[in-house]
Amino acid sequence: MDYQKILEEIHQEVLPLLDKGKVADYIPELANVDASKFGIHLLTLEDNAYSVGDVHEKFSIQSISKVFMLALTISHLGEKVYERVDVEPSGDPFNSLVQLEHECGIPRNPFINSGALVITDMMISSFEDPRTEFLEYVRDLVGHSEIFCNMKVAASEKQHGFKNAAMVNLMKSFGNIENDVEDVLDLYFEFCSIEMTCSELAKAFRVFANHGRGVIDTKKYITESQFKRITAIMQTCGFYDEAGEFAFRVGLPGKSGVGGGIAAILPDEYSIVTWSPGLNKKGNSLAGMKALELFTTKTGTSIF
Ligand SMILES: NC(=O)CC[C@H](N)C(=O)O
Cα–ligand 1 centroid distance for 240 (angstroms): 11
Tell me the H-state helices in the chain.
Answer: 3-14, 65-77, 98-102, 113-126, 130-142, 151-160, 162-173, 181-192, 198-209, 224-237, 243-249, 286-299
Nearest to 277 by CA among 61, 4, 6: 61
Binned at pLDDT 50, 70 and 90, residue 35 comes out as very high
Residues of 210-245 as b/e, b for ≥16 C-beta within 10 angstroms? Answer: bbbbbbeeeebbbeeebbebbbebbbbbbbbbbbee
User: What residue spans in the chain does CATH classification 3.40.710.10 cover?
Assistant: 3-60+197-298, 63-192
Cα–ligand 1 centroid distance for 161 (angstroms): 9
Give pLDDT, residue 40. 98
- For the segment 12-39, the average pLDDT, to the nearest whole number, is 94
Give pLDDT, residue 194. 98
ipTM for this model: 0.94
Contact 195, 65 (CB under 8 A): no
Give pLDDT, residue 92. 85
Cα–ligand 1 centroid distance for 209 (angstroms): 24
Query: Given a cut of 90, is residue 93 above it in pLDDT?
Result: no
Whose CA is closest to atom 9 on ligand 1?
A: 113
Q: Ligand 1 — pocket residues by CB below 6 A?
A: 62-63, 94-95, 113, 157, 164, 192, 257-258, 283
Whose CA is closest to atom 6 on ligand 1?
A: 62
Binned at pLDDT 50, 70 and 90, residue 34 comes out as very high
* 3-60+197-298: CATH superfamily: DD-peptidase/beta-lactamase superfamily (3.40.710.10)
Contact 234, 250 (CB under 8 A): no
**Mean pLDDT across the chain:** 96
Lowest mean pLDDT among 21-30, 60-69, 131-140, 188-197: 21-30
* 63-192: CATH superfamily: DD-peptidase/beta-lactamase superfamily (3.40.710.10)
Write the DSSP symbol of residue 52. Answer: E
